[in-house]
Structure 1
């Protein structure tokens, strides 16, 4: 498949591109960095500015893309421009380009505001508000075949290849989040679904099959 990864130079994006290339997909990674991120014949790179106008974003997207991943993040800076407005513009551009599959990396309980009083979320309230409304736009204002993956805190630790998908919160290996994102690509049962995930003891493919 030909896949666009928006945010390929981020912590999750880097691991995701590695997974997709290992699965022999053709990957276009977006980054504002000048250096090429991956030395692979199936990888190409795009300097895509998601703070630009929607039409400018859309013009840079190939028509024959099979799926779009949004794994970009503001890192706490320009959360409105990146995590909300930037995300929504990529949703709009994807739909207007005629691409159907869109996979969003979000955050645990992004759509469930009743859980936002926990300290881990309360300290990230502006970020969560942005993720909430970007996800709401994807669900309610698009016709895309979306999947929203909602991990808790991201940790730079070795992946185990095992996760849990449920309504509780927990930490996540970045590698396992990337593997989960790669797994949902061809898992039709995850279309039009959003799910929380964290470190667990169920094989990732088995867990994804239960969504």
Structure 2
């Protein structure tokens, strides 16, 4: 498949792109970095400006992609322009371009405001507001075959290749396990139009994806 990874230089985006390339996919990664992230014949790089207009973003996306991943983030520096408005514009452009498969990397509890009193959420309140409305737009204002993946806190630990889905506990996730989950749901039609939280757990990722 020909895949666009928006935010390929991020912690999850890099791991995801690496796994997609290892699986034989062709990947275009977006990043503001000048250096090429991957030395791979199936990889190209695009300096996509998420602050640009829909028209300009569409003009930059010239290839026929089969799927879009949104893993970009502002790191708290510009959550409205990047995490919210930037994400929404890529959804709208995907629809204009006829790209139906759209996978969003979100955050645990992004859509469940009843749990926003947790200290970990309050510390990132602006980010959570941005993710909430971006996710809500994807669900209710597009016709995309979306999947929204909501990991808890991210760690640099070694991959476990095992997760739990929709646990009551927010938990934590190794970055590699999040990337593996994102890569695994690419063609899993049972995950279309679905939102699920994930954390490190006891179920092999491939099996967990099958029961979403």
Q: Which residue of 2 aligns with 1:186?
A: 187
Aligned residue for 1:75? 75
Q: Runs of 4+ in structure 1 displaced over 3 angstroms?
A: none
Residue 160 of structure 1 corresponds to 160
Kindly report the root-mean-square deviation, in angstroms, between the aligned alpha carbons of the 2 structures: 0.7
CA-CA distance at 1:62 after TM superposition: 3.1
Q: Deviations along 1:150-192, whole A, 9 cap, x unmatched?
A: 0000111111111110232100000000000000101100000
Residue 56 of structure 2 aligns to a residue in which SS? Answer: helix
- Asked if 1:123 corresponds to 2:123, the answer is yes
User: Are 1:121 and 1:128, in contact at CA under 8 Å, matched by a contact in 2?
Assistant: yes
2 CA distance for matches of 1:149 and 1:55?
A: 28
Query: Per-residue CA shift, 1:98-141, capped at 9, x if unaligned?
Result: 11000000000111111111111111111000000000000000
Match of 1:59 in 2: 59
Question: SS state of the match for residue 197, structure 1?
Answer: strand
Mapping of residues 1-211 of structure 1, within 5 Å:
1-168=1-168, 169-211=170-212
TM-score relative to the length of structure 2: 0.98
SS in 2 for 1:32: coil
TM superposition shift of 1:64: 1.6
* Mapped partners of 1:192, 1:133: distance in 2: 16
8 A Cα contact 1:63 1:98, kept in partner: no
Gap regions ≥5 residues in structure 2: none
Corresponding residue SS for 2:111: coil
Partners in 1 of 2:105 and 2:55 — Cα distance?
23
Q: In 2, Cα distance between the equivalents of 1:23 and 1:62?
A: 23
Structure 1, unmatched stretches of 5+, are none
Which shifted more, 105-114 or 59-68? 59-68
